[in-house]
Each structure stands twice: as C-alpha cells, then as structure tokens.
Amino acid sequence: MMQADYVIVGAGSAGCALAFRLAEAGRSVIVIEAGGSDAGPFIQMPGALSYPMNMARYDWGYTSEPEPHLGGRRLACPRGRVLGGSSSINGMVYVRGHACDYDHWREAGAEGWGFADVLPYFRRMENWHDGGHGGDAAWRGTDGPLHVTRGRRDNPLVGAFVEAGRQAGYPVTPDYNGARQEGFGPYDMTVWKGRRWSAASAYLKSARRRGARVLRGQARRVVIEEGRARGVEVDMRGGPRVIRAAREVILAASAINSPKLLMLSGIGPGAELAGHGVPVLADRPGVGANLQDHLEVYLQMAATKPVSLYRYWNLAGKAWVGARWLFTRSGPGASNQFESAGFIRSRAGVRYPDIQFHFLPIAVRYDGQAAAEGHGFQAHVGPMRSASRGAVTLRSADPEAAPRIRFNYMSEPQDWADFRACIRLTREIFAQEAFAPFAGQEIQPGAAAQDDAALDEFVREHAESAYHPCGTCRMGRADDPGAVVDPEARVIGVEGLRVADSSVFPRITNGNLNAPSIMVGEKVADHVLGRRLPPENAEPWVHPDWRTAQR
C-alpha cells in the first residue's frame, strides 16, 4: 500500500514548498503530479517563456467560458501541468504584493495572515540578489531556497520607462518588494545563473533528497471516510489507486483544480454537486466561488530606432540567442525581459497602488507573435483589484472533464473606468521626454481611440488575462458560510484536509501571484507542523497625500 504521513496533490508553487518543509521536518511525504519533467530548454531558458505556456505538454490547456462582457470571447487560462506547476511556465516576475493586501486578508477573517505575519515567510523563502541596482535589504531574505535576481537592464528602453515615470511625477522606488511598492524601478525575477528558478528547482529537488516521493498521476478525488480525509484516488499506469495519508491530505492543485477536486470529493455547493450525481459530504457554497484574476491590455508603440528585441525576431536571431544561452547561460535568453516595473494609483483617494505595469522592450503577444510594425515596445497594464467575481464549477462528475471557468470579467462599472484610466495614464508616460528618442506611432489602441467608447471597445476586443486566477477556496473564519478553509488552511467540515495554493486568497494581491503562492505553501507547512515564525512589524510606505493626490 502506498502511504505517507502527508499526501500533497500538485507539485506547483505551494506544493513544492510544502513538500520541502514537511520533509525537512522529518515527515514522510508523497506528492502527486499529473505532469512530467521540467527538463528542456523551453522551460529552463527565461527568454523562451512564451513557449511552455502554449505547449500541451506542460499546460492543462484551460480556457474560460464565453465571457459576456468581453464580446463572448473565450480567454486562455494556462496552468502548469509539469513539475513546478505554473512556476515552470510563468513569466518569472516576482512580486510579493503590497503590505495592505495581507492586512485586508486579516480583516476579512484570515486571522494570522496580516503583513506582519507573512513578511517572515517571504524573508525565509528568499535568496535575494540585488544585482547592483540597490534595494531594501532590511526587508529581504538572503539565505532561502528561492533565488530572486534582477536583469542586466542594458536595453535603453528599459531605463527610459523608469525615467519617464519619474518625469510624469511618480516616485522611483529601488525595491517594490521592500518598504515602498509605489513608483517605478527594476523588476525582480525568479532566475538564477541564467536559468528559470522554479519551485521545482528551489524546493522539490531538495525535498526528494530528504525522502519525499513524487508520483505521476491525475488525482480523481479525495477519499473521505467517516468525515476524515484518508487518501487520494489517483489515475496511474495500471488503473486507479488510492494513496493513503496517515495524517493529512493537502490540495495544492491551483485555483482551478483544487476546487474541482473538492467538488468531485463531495465538498462544495450541495445543489450543484447533487445535480452531477456527486454525494454531498460537506455543503460548502464557497467552493469554486470568489474567482478573481488580473486582466490587462498591451499598449504598444512603434520604435523609431532599432533598439528593441525585434532584432532577434527571425530565424537567425533566435538561433543566436538560443545558442548563446545554451553554451554560456547569458544574453537575451537569460532574462524574462520584464526588467522595469511600475506600480501607481489610478486616482486620488486610493490608498495604495491599484495599477501595475510590465514594460517589455518589444511589441509582442504572449503567444509569441510580434507586431507587424517591427521594432517597438509595450506596457502591459491593468487594474489590480477589480470587484468582478467569477466561479469554477463542474462540467460533469467525470474527473477527466475540464471544469467550467467563468471569470465574469468587466462585470462591474468601475472596471471600465479603471481601464480607461490605465490606458490614459500609460499614454502620458510614453509621451514623456525620456521616450522622445524612441517613440513612434501608437500601434494599439492607436491614436484614433480617444473617447470612452473607443477605449471601451479596445478593452472588449483586446484585454487578456494576466494568468493570475485565485480565490476559489477562500480562507476565512470557521463560522463564515462563504469560507472554504479556516486560517490554518483546514477545509471547514472535513478532518485531515487542507488547501494550500492561490485558491485560498481572500482577495487577489497587488501583482503577480507566484511569490504569494509560494509564501502560502511555506506558511501552511508551519501550520501543519504546529509552529509559527514571530511576526515582524515593518511599516510600509504609503503616499502621505493619497487622499487628495494621485501622484
């Protein structure tokens, strides 16, 4: 019989961290992962990031249902089906989120998850290297398993973006993951010595050396006996098997697959489960609800000089980039190319940033298609805290069937006002003197798109997911009927079962979700082990005139 103290479903960002910390503490661990190896250049070369998220070998291939407020478009929702999970196919951008995000979690019922509580876990997991660009060393960790670095920032467009932000009246911040997120500055990335440093690299390899086992197979359901999780039924070679958990089962299968597994196991909205013929073991209406994401548009500009990465966007150029990376782990392939960041507030009265910029020194889509105009640059921009909420629901009781994913993007009127502000504020930044030597015509939305109706139509036709789904197993008080897990990540109403991934976020954080997902794995491991790092009362910077000034 296959058995361990802890059975973890999902070798992704949080699951790998959990496996390492539990194995480090001497517990026996089995990790169940549906995907295969993360070896190979498409995953390991940072500059090739557009490939793995579009490859069926590494991705679950999920898409949303037709989104009613985006013209009925189905949007891609990539999730990693590979060792390392989505940390092996993501853009490698490392953002903790704002301190106020976690204080909101605490206020929403996730007691013990305020910023003072989570900061020690961010510090524990990091091995931060500032790359000579300055930073906030007092807020960072330097001996954790997760290497966090910065790019060379030698493309002139990268520096121009930060300088343009300064010229537009925004602060420059040396470290948005330190005391001061608001402003413009260098991005952090999970890259080490020219290679993607995923959760598999940071945690899982060490966990396996400490005895953790990885089983390849797709989890079908949690086996629950007399109100307690006893194991996981898994499709493996030779047919279904039950992997037994002597202590606990922990789901770390993503904001899409964790609620799906709970529902297949009889935990979720009772009427919906009964409609699919699934016996209801715990009627929890919050399972699958509260789905959130970041939506963004690409504001693209043509460049008047051949300074962008478009010079490599041909067969010979890609071959040169690939060969240089393969033999020296250097050159454009050694960076994710997201090297300049921006976090600003959309208007006066917003306490902390609600807009994020990813600057890229080429005009290109996530699917790897470059703009026809040739040399260019772009900013990915979108609101950080939309009030729109969607849901993940079962399509059927068949574990092989993909769930229904409906984000319900742009369902709140404020979303449209926020996106218009995003576009207009980005245009203002690109119009600064710092871009004068480089900026040509606007590729998209295009100079003709000026009034509200034109901008709304652009968003409706071109907005894309930033691939940050979360919130579908919300953490909250045990007596909160909408909560799925309590503040120790225990599933309410079932013994011996926890969830630890981005699905437990009460509200989406301010930025990319990989860092907070890993932090959740780190912190939940301590809850499992009955220990806790002492809180750190660090005070984040908040604009002193936020009530009356936008910048």
- Ranges assigned E (strand) in 82-216: 126-128, 146-148, 183-186, 191-192, 195-196, 213-216
**Is 91 part of any known ligand binding site?**
yes
Active site residue: 294, 468, 527, 543, which one?
Answer: 468
**Cβ pair 263, 391 in contact under 8 A:** no
Q: How many C-beta neighbours within 10 Å does residue 531 have?
A: 10
**Is 54 part of any known ligand binding site?**
no
Contacts of 385 (CB under 8 A, 6+ apart): 354, 507, 508, 510
**Is 90 part of any known ligand binding site?**
yes
Nearest CA-CA partner of 344 in 162, 545, 551: 551
- Ranges assigned E (strand) in 149-283: 183-186, 191-192, 195-196, 213-216, 218-225, 228-236, 239-251, 267-268, 282-283
**Cβ pair 482, 473 in contact under 8 A:** no
Rounded CA-CA distance 434/10 in Å is: 45
Angle at 109 between CA 103 and CA 110, to 5 degrees: 65
Q: Where are the alpha helices (DSSP H) in 13-154?
A: 13-24, 41-44, 99-107, 115-125
Beta strands at 295-303 and 439-444: parallel, antiparallel or unpaired: antiparallel
For residue 491, the cross-strand partners are 485
Q: How many C-beta neighbours within 10 Å does residue 201 have?
A: 23
Rounded CA-CA distance 443/301 in Å is: 5
Beta strands at 239-251 and 228-236: parallel, antiparallel or unpaired: antiparallel
**Is 485 part of any known ligand binding site?**
no
Rounded CA-CA distance 551/546 in Å is: 8
Is 375 among the catalytic positions?
no
What DSSP element (H or E) covers 378? strand 376-383
Q: Over the range 31-50, which residues count as b (16 or more CB within 10 Å of their CB) and which as e?
A: bbbbbeebeeebbbbbbbbb
Rounded CA-CA distance 169/171 in Å is: 7
If you compute the radius of gyration of the chain from its CA atoms, what whole number of angstroms results?
Answer: 22
The half-sphere exposure of 510 on its side-chain side, counting CA atoms within 13 A, is 26
**Is 177 part of any known ligand binding site?**
no
For residue 267, the cross-strand partners are 282
Rounded CA-CA distance 99/76 in Å is: 30
Query: What are the binding residues?
Result: 82, 90-93
Query: What are the binding residues for FAD?
Result: 82, 90-93
Residues assigned a catalytic role:
468
